[in-house]
Amino acid sequence: MESLSSTIQIISWTMPSIIIPKALSITSLIRHRDYFGNREPYAITVAATKLYILTNPSDAMEAYKNMSTLSFDEFVRRVMRTSGSSEFVVHKMFETPDPKKAIFPNPHNRPLAKLARELHMHQLFPGAPLDELRGVFLDFFNRSFTFKNMAQASYASSVSDQEVVLPLNLWTSDVMICAGQEAYFGPHLAEIDSQLTWDFLEFDDYTWQVLYQYPRFLASDMFKAKEKVIAGLERYFEIPEEKRGKSSWFTPAMEKEMRNLGFSTHDVAVMMMTIYWGINTNTRRACFWMFSYILFDPELVSLIGEETNGAFADGDIPDIKYLEEECPHLNGIWNETIRLSAYSSSVRYIMEDTTIGGKILRKGNRVMIPNRQLHFNASTFGEDAKSFKPTRFFNNEKLLNSKSWKPFGGGTTICPGRFIAKQAVILYVAMILHRFDLEIAGERKFPKMEEGNPVLGIMSAKAGDDLSVKLRPRKK
């Protein structure tokens, strides 16, 4: 799972191998790892194509650094086609642009498929644009996290004057998707299509069918949901920019670059649907898993609540700098959560025979780095690497510099959205723990991760596995 590279580095997490052979599920890769160990590269043949698997951290680093004989562009093209882009769009995205028509500074005259990454880095790397984007998330959370609003949610149950019960997965998904939509597209998109976030959530639950390239007759629900999202975005982009209200800097910048290449409104909507997918699929899941781990240990609920209190010195709006710099347990739990929940596999196309780990990887095949397997490397993370340990990163911050730590991919395609993803989730967690007392309602059964299907970054819970949480306003 690596960000859909250049074009789609737009995505706010890491992306799996673009199109993954169904034989290579997470569970099958775990079996391979247990058999071969984190040793030399090994090969698997799937549908007449050889796939070289790298499980040794040093081999993985070597592959990430190789930009001459290993390429990611071919997989980006395939994802664009699978997502609905025409051959005209795919060609234009990789075509060398006319320097006389440049909009965004492009001194190296990169095609938009490459320039898109720089556009997103400008939006998502630390600085004023990121601060502005985070501010939208913060404002949305502040409006959403009131007892009245939560009690009025369509999925709320057992509502009284003092408490409300919410399904954790649906609640975190609803809030995160709506917040991400408003951050990137502004509030007007919700007015144009009030069902868009729910259509996307339905699509997102079926996206493994996209990655497996299911035909329409086997994935009609996924295609219908995807087309609804594209239709909503198309109506949005039909409206003149000045009438849409405030959005992120990135959205109109990317639109201008695409229209400069002759893209129709439908073409723009298809490409931006991929962006919508990227910014919303992983933060909701990361938030769900982080809350799940915290709630199953009441001591963590108290610890994180107390540790983050200082971030609210000026009221109910937390200081993100305090949360990131003065809350080591909160940050450690974030790292441990994504270590366990990220299904991260980077893929490259082999352009020329390449030697890695003493083995010759032959031209025309693919190389895959299953980063999730690196996260279970016992020599790095300990013999309990398969278990959640809240103090793992708190006790050893050097793990963040390990060759085995790759939740956001690596090399030139490392995910640019890693900063806003973390900030949005820890803001969510800190604000809820500050405003409410919460506990698990009903059966205490930890949700199981769906390890059989590929995703764009963070695994979902198995169908039907959710937690009910009871929230009560805190007395201050």
Q: Which of 218, 182, 210 shows the shortest CA–CA distance to 197?
A: 182
Region at 5 (left for phi over 0; alpha for psi -120 to 50; beta for the rest): left
DSSP notation for 22-65: TT--HHHHHHHHHHH-S-S-EEEEETTEEEEE--SHHHHHHHHH
Which residues are registered as beta bridge partners of 361?
354
Q: What share of the chain is helix, strand, coil (3-state, %, to 5)?
A: 55, 10, 35
User: Does residue 418 contact residue 344 with C-beta atoms inside 8 Å?
Assistant: no
**Mean local confidence (pLDDT), 194-216:** 87
Tokens of 431: 């604000």
- % of the chain with per-residue pLDDT over 70: 90
**The predicted structure's pLDDT at residue 23:** 47
User: Does residue 457 contact residue 440 with C-beta atoms inside 8 Å?
Assistant: no
Tokens 């020599």 sit at which residue? 379
| Span 4-56, pLDDT tens digits | 333 333 333 333 333 445 445 545 555 555 555 557 888 887 666 788 888 88
Provide the pLDDT confidence category of residue 216 given band limits of 50, 70 and 90. Answer: confident
**Mean local confidence (pLDDT), 356-385:** 89
Between the alpha carbon of residue 122 and those of residues 117, 126, 417, the distances in Å are 9, 9, 11
Rg (the chain; Cα; Å): 22
| Span 438-475, pLDDT tens digits | 999 988 899 999 887 777 789 999 988 899 999 999 98
**Mean local confidence (pLDDT), 411-421:** 84
**The predicted structure's pLDDT at residue 152:** 94
For residues 1 and 67, the model is more confident at 67
The stretches of 239-325 forming alpha helices (DSSP H) are 250-260, 265-295, 298-307, 320-325
| Span 115-168, pLDDT tens digits | 998 999 999 999 999 999 999 999 999 999 999 999 999 999 988 888 999 999
Per the prediction, the chain carries an average pLDDT of 87
**Mean local confidence (pLDDT), 52-63:** 88
Range in 4-8, 362-366, 368-372 with the lowest mean pLDDT = 4-8
Which structural domains are found in the chain, ordered by start?
Answer: 26-473 (1.10.630.10)
Coil, strand or helix at 318:
coil
Asked whether residue 178 is marked as a ligand-binding residue, the answer is no
Would you give the DSSP letter of residue 404?
A: T
C-alpha of 37 from chain center: 28
**The predicted structure's pLDDT at residue 408:** 85
